[in-house]
Amino acid sequence: MQLTTTPTGAHRTATFWMSHAWLGTHVEPGVTLAVADGRIAGIRTGVDAPPPGATVLRGLTVPGLANTHSHAFHRALRSTVQVGSGTFWTWRELMYQVAARLTPDTYYDLARAVYAEMALAGITTVGEFHYLHHAPGGAPYNNPNAMGEALIAAAAAAGIRITLLDTAYLAAGFGQRAGQYREPDQHQLRFSDTTADAWAERASLLKGSDHALIGAAVHSVRAVPAGQLATVAKWAEERQAPLHVHLSEQTAENDACQAAHGCSPTRLLADHGVLGPRTTGIHNTHLSSEDIALLGVSATGTCMCPTTERDLADGIGPAVALQRAGSPLSLGSDSHAVIDLFEEARAMELNERLRTHARGHWTAAALLRAATADGHAALGRSDAGTLEPGALADFTTVALDSVRTAGPVPRLAAEAVVFAASAADVRHTVVAGRHIVRDGQHTLVEDVPAALASAIAVLHG
């Protein structure tokens, strides 16, 4: 495993010609984009033909996609957890079995392949919700951040950016008495630093870079005792870092929190200073009107993960009400039942149609914003997710001539991409001006399917 990181494109100068580009409000034909030092240096429209020396991108080029919520090792569960029936809680037992087999080396191999799959899907930044910290049994590695550093190195090797959301996971759930929490079980020992102070001490050793930002996460209100929530929030506040939290994914969590603290998980987080504009709640599925108002007034974000939420039978979250209240929306592939941000985007709209029996809750533009600018902002990169001077030169090109996207007139290319395209239609992915996916082939990982198969086989062997 190579634990050193490489720059994603510093000091690189290049020119790209895009047959069509999404400029935030409309599709523009014939666009040239200049890149210098990994950022967009200039944009010209009305360029009918590629200038000499320009790299040609045919299709619809959109800002790079942001996968706001990922658990890389869950990719090893794909298909295995589709056998038979069950609940979120039975799925969790299978997840623990895979987690128990991972080492820094095998995690690097798996994450490198998973992040390469993301690049092939047009994702240029991933938010990795990372809680697999220690060796089985809970003993720290000689390098206490060996697992986190493996993820950072894997993202660099796959050519994408990462926000490592180092996660406090200290308890197995609420106890029998108010204020009491259960000790981590045998599966969870490698997740736990025992206290939030110990978590903060270890997390402080992580180093960021151009391609890697360091953020924080509260796994959930059931996994971090209420009295220690403020420690995690303070750590993030001092660093102006993103802070994420699984929130009200299951009604059982709501019921247990109510029994233990006499309030909802959202209220508990609010009372301990966790909510705010740098905080993102993951799922936010089962919320009361008071919860929605608390999230909105604090400008706490919401990351919807529709493919996982439907795979685990979690339910459909109140995304429309949350956004109206003031909670910015982003998207994640979470358990990686599939890795396809176009599917996540349209699923959010289509789920709402099923729930309300009405159409048109979000435009294609709004869904693209959730998949790009608002997702990057949730990961601490407000300078990404747009095609404009000064922004990071991260973008992806989607074919407009596949069996899914062919036919619509160019001005409707965004609608074609959001409501019909799949990850398989991504032709190019560029990060910091560096071509990571070219003509549908990853330029750094030679055979992504083989890399995935090999890394997953080790964990099931």
Catalytic residues: 283, 334
| Contact criterion met (CB below 8 Å) for 99 and 76 | no
Closest listed residue to residue 211, CA positions, set 429, 371, 431, 433:
431
Residues counted in the chain? 461
- Determine the longest span between alpha carbons in the chain, in angstroms: 72
Cα 407 from Cα 409, distance rounded (Å): 7
- Strands 123-130 and 161-168, by their bridges, are parallel
User: Which residues, including other chains, have CB under 8 Å from residue 44's CB and lie 6 or more apart?
Assistant: 31, 32
Written in H, E and C, the secondary structure of the chain is CCCCCCCCCCCCEEEEEEEEEECCCCEEEEEEEEEECCEEEEEECCCCCCCCCCEEEEEEEEECEEEEEECHHHHHHCCHHHCCCCCHHHHHHHHHHHHCCCCHHHHHHHHHHHHHHHHHCCEEEEEEEECCCCCCCCCCCCCCCHHHHHHHHHHHHHCCEEEEEEEECCCCEECCCCCCEECCCCCCHHHCCCCHHHHHHHHCCCCCCCCEEEEEEECCCCCCCHHHHHHHHHHHHHHCCCEEEEECCCHHHHHHHHHHHCCCHHHHHHHCCCCCCCEEEEECCCCCHHHHHHHHHCCCEEEECHHHHHHCCCCCCCHHHHHHHCCCEEECCECCCCCCHHHHHHHHHHHHHHHHCCCCCCCHHHHHHHHCHHHHHHCCCCCCCCCCCCCECCEEEECCCCCCCCCCCHHHHHHHHHHHCCHHHEEEEEECCEEEEECCEECCCCCHHHHHHHHHHHHHC
Distance from C-alpha of 325 to C-alpha of 338, rounded to nearest angstrom: 30
Token pair 């890149």 is at which residue? 35
Residue 456 has phi, psi (to 5 degrees) of -75, -35
Tokens of 106: 């095998």
